[in-house]
Chains A and B, each alone.
Chain A
Amino acid sequence: MRVNKNNKKISGRKSQTEIIGLVIIVMLIVVGFMLYVRFSLMAPKDNTKNEFTKAELATNMVNVLMKTTTDCRDATVQDLLKDCATDGRISCISDSVSMRSCDYAQKIIKTMADSTLEKWSRGYTITFYRADQSVQFAMNDSGNECSGNKNYKSAFSYIPLNPGTATLKIQLCDPK
C-alpha cells in the first residue's frame, strides 16, 4: 500500500513537471511570436517619398510663384512683392476693384495655394516680410496645420531691395 502511495506521488510529480515544461514552451512561443509581430508588422514605414516631396514641393512652389506673370500689367509676382515691400506704387484692378500691389499679390498667391497645396491636403504657411522682420502679409491653409507642427520643410525666395531684402517664405507641413 505504501509502495502504491509513493508511486502515485512520483507519477503525480512527473506530470506536474511535464505540465510546467509545456507551459514554459508555450510561453516562449507566444513571446517569440509577439516579438516577430512587433518588429516586422510594426516596423516604421519608409517616409523617404514624403520628406522629399515636401522639400521639393516647397522649393518648386516658391520658385514658380515668383516667376508667374499676373494679370496686373503683366507684372510677375516678384515685381508685385518688390513694390509691396517698397513704395507700393503699382495699382491693380481685380474684379473692377482697384487694389494695392500687396493685396493683389496676396490674393494671387492665396488662389494658387488653394488650387494646389490646399487641394492636395498639404498644410502651409506663407509669409512675406522685410529684412527688419516686419511682416507684410501671412496666410495659412484652412486647417492651420502648421501651427505648432514641428514636422515641416521651408523654402525661401529673397527679393533684393535698396537697401536690404524682402523674403517670401513657404512652410509645408504634414497634416496633424
Chain B
Amino acid sequence: MQKHKLANERKGQMKMMETIGVLLVFFILVGIVLVFFAGTQRTSVTDSKSSLANAKSIESAQAADFLLEMQCSEENIPVDNCIEIEKAQLLGNMTAHDSQLNYEHYYPTFGYATISIEQVYPYSTMGKIIVYNNTLNRSYGNSTFTFPVLLYSSKKGVSPKRYNFGILNVISYY
C-alpha cells in the first residue's frame, strides 16, 4: 500500500513539474512575442510621427513662402515666390530677440522649425539668413523642405528690378 502511495505521489509530482514547465515555456514565448510586438509598434509610431513632420514641413514652407512680412512687392502688387532680403533680415532679428512675438505669432504657424534663406546666384557673401529658429531640445528627427525663391534687395545702389536666385530652407523637428 505504502509503495503504491509513494508511486502515486511521484506521479503527481511529475505531472506538476510537467505543468509548471509547460507554463514557464508558454510565458517565455508570450514575453518574446510582446517584446517583438512592442518593437514593431514603436517603429509604426515613429513612422507616423515622421509622416506628420513631413506634412508640417510642407505646410511651414508654404506659409514662409507667402509670409507677408518678407514678401516682395512691385508697386504694391505682391511678387510670387519672392523674398525681400532686408525684410527677412529684420524678421530674423525680431524673432531671435522677441520670444513673446515668437511664441504668440509664429509658433502656431511654424512650430518647432528652422527657416532660412540663402542666395545661390550670383554668388554673395551674405551667407545664410535665419528667419525663424525654434529647435526642439530632444527631437527624434527632422524633415527638410527646400525650394528655390527669388531674392530682391531694396538697398540703395542696387538695380531696382534685380532678382537673384536663392533657396528657402525649412527644417521641421519632431
Contacts and interface: CB of A to CB of B under 8 A. Distances in A.
B148 A61 contact: yes
B58 A69 contact: no
Interface string A50-75: 00110011001101110111010010
Interface stretch (A5-13, A98-106, A111-119, A135-143): A111-119
Interface in A69-121: 69, 71, 74, 76, 108, 111-112, 115-116, 120
A69 B51 contact: no
Interface residues of B, number: 28
B81 interface: yes
A49 B143 contact: yes
Nearest to B52: A46
B148 A74 contact: no
Interface in B117-160: 120-122, 143, 145-150, 159
Contacts of A69: 159, 161-164
A40 interface: yes
B19 to A, nearest CB: 16
B28 to A, nearest CB: 15
Contacts of B163: 67-69, 76
Given A116-B120, A116-B167, A40 B44 contact: yes
B121 A64 contact: no
Interface residues of A, number: 27
B146 A120 contact: yes
A52 B61 CA distance: 12
A24 to B, nearest CB: 17
Interface string B45-68: 001000100110110000000000
B159 A57 contact: no
Nearest to B148: A64
Contact of B147 (A46, A60, A111): A60
Contact of B40 (A40, A52, A68, A112): A40
A1 interface: no
Interface in A111-165: 111-112, 115-116, 120
Interface of A: 40-41, 45-46, 48-49, 52-53, 56-57, 60-61, 63-65, 67-69, 71, 74, 76, 108, 111-112, 115-116, 120
6 contacts: A41-B40, A49-B58, A53-B145, A60-B81, A74-B159, A116-B120
Given A40-B40, A41-B40, 11 more contacts: A45-B47, A46-B47, A46-B51, A48-B54, A49-B143, A61-B147, A64-B150, A67-B163, A74-B161, A112-B120, A116-B148
Of all A-B residue pairs in the complex, the 6 with the closest CB atoms, nearest first, are A49-B54, A64-B148, A69-B162, A68-B165, A60-B147, A115-B120
Interface of B: 40, 43-44, 47, 51, 54-55, 57-58, 80-81, 120-122, 143, 145-150, 159, 161-165, 167
